[in-house]
Amino acid sequence: MKILVCISKTPDTTSRIAFKDNNTKFDESGIQWIINPYDEWYSLVRAIELKEKDSSVIIHLITVGTVDTEPIIRKALALGGDEAIRVNADSSDSYYIATQIAEIARQGNYDLIFTGKETIDYNGAVIGALVAELVDLPYVSLATKFEVEGTTATITREIEGGEEVNQVQLPMVVSVQKGVAEQRIPNMRGIMAARSKPLKVVEPVSAETLTSCINFELPPAKAGVKLVAADNVAELVRLLHEEAKAI
């Protein structure tokens, strides 16, 4: 079984979000970059678990990004995976990025393509669906459990107020979230091994961009908290009812 795991680089979760050049660009100064948590904790770890059960499983990581994504992909390789592919391109358009991933997916003939449910920066939650349609494969999103037996995948996915169990014949694309695996910390052996794992750099195929980001805004600041004394809970209820009209 061959698995392709999509890896994306995102700002650390504690990053101060600010913009520059007239709010047209994300201000990267002082930003620590991490592997998108959904890609690292769930998608990659689940792929590694499948390989631990069956050593014939091959895991390739893919990222679409410029050379500065390499530390992130090495970090991912330190957790596991056999080799990585970096498509040397940068775009905020998900259609463009998905086209690059689909190209690699077609060439590699993967049985399974894993993505995280979304990235924590652009929150698109869409790459998996785009790739799936581009390569014409079934897609199950928001998986909280993923098992595979022979060529049949059994997936539990989130639905409103519950879950649904699906069965799909491989090959397929799946987006994953919490529940699928438990976060792991890379160890020294993994970090050493990652250094010698192949990291292939390929140039992008030409692709359309259907959207472009014009500028960013920060939300307006809150007016400030109204504190109510702990022995006057009735006043809070009055405020919520009469002022906020929330209850």
Partner 1 sequence: MSVLILIDHSEGQIKKSSFEALSYGAAVAQQLNVSAQALLLGTVTNNLSDLGKYGVSKIFQVADETLNAFDAQVYAQVIAESAQLLNATVIVVAQNQTGKAVAGRVSVLLKAGLVTGAIALPDTSNGFVVKKSVFSNKAFANVAIHSAIKIIALNPNSYSVVPTEGTATVELLSIKPKEAKVKIVSVNKISGEVPLTEAEIVVSGGRGLKGPENWGIVEDLAKVLHAATACSRPVADTHWRPHHEHVGQTGFQIAPNLYIAIGISGAIQHLAGVNRSKTIVVINKDPEAPFFKAADYGIVGDAFEVVPQLTAEIKKLKG
Ligand X SMILES: Cc1cc2nc3c(=O)[nH]c(=O)nc-3n(C[C@H](O)[C@H](O)[C@H](O)COP(=O)(O)OP(=O)(O)OC[C@H]3O[C@@H](n4cnc5c(N)ncnc54)[C@H](O)[C@@H]3O)c2cc1C
CB of residue 48 to partner 1, shortest distance in Å: 19
Residue 89 sits at φ, ψ, to 5 deg, of: -155, 160
Give yes or no for residue 185 binding partner 1 (CB under 8 A). no
Q: Is 108 in the site for partner 1 (CB under 8 A)?
A: no
Of 51-59, 69-77, 166-174, 196-204: span binding partner 1 (CB under 8 A)? 166-174
Q: Does residue 212 interact with partner 1 by CB under 8 A?
A: yes
The answer to whether residues 70 and 137 touch, using CB atoms and an 8 Å cutoff, is no
Least distance CB 35 / partner 1 (angstroms)? 12
Instruction: Kindly state the smallest distance separating residue 200's Cβ from partner 1, in Å.
Output: 26
* Closest distance of CB 72 from partner 1, Å: 17
Q: Binding to ligand X by residue 11, rule CB under 6 A?
A: no
**Binder of partner 1 out of 122, 190, 193, 204 (CB under 8 A):** 122
Q: Which helix (H) or strand (E) holds 26?
A: strand 25-26
The Cα 116–Cα 126 span in angstroms is: 10
Q: Map residues 166-205 to x or -, x wherever contact with ligand X holds by CB under 6 A.
A: ----------------------------------------
The Cα 175–Cα 117 span in angstroms is 5
CB-CB contact of 155 with 146 (8 Å):
yes
Q: What SS3 string covers 109-136?
A: CCCEEEEECCCCCCCCCCHHHHHHHHCC
Answer left, alpha or beta for residue 246, where phi above 0 means left and psi between -120 and 50 means alpha. Answer: alpha
The DSSP bridge partners found for residue 231 are none
Is 13 among the residues that bind ligand X (CB under 6 A)?
yes
The three-state secondary structure class of 195 is helix
Q: How far is the CB of 64 from partner 1 (least distance, A)?
A: 15
Show contacts with ligand X in window 16-55 (CB under 6 A): 37
- Closer to partner 1 by CB, 76 or 132: give it: 132
Residue 222 CB, shortest distance to partner 1, in Å, is: 6
Which secondary structure element, helix H or strand E, spans residue 45, and what is its range? Answer: helix 45-53
Our CB check for ligand X shows the closer of 145 and 178 to be 178
Structure tokens at 34: 């991490």
Identity of the residue numbered 25? K
Could you say which of partner 1, ligand X, none residue 188 binds, taking C-beta under 5 to 8 angstroms by partner kind?
none
Contact positions vs ligand X (CB under 6 A): 13, 37
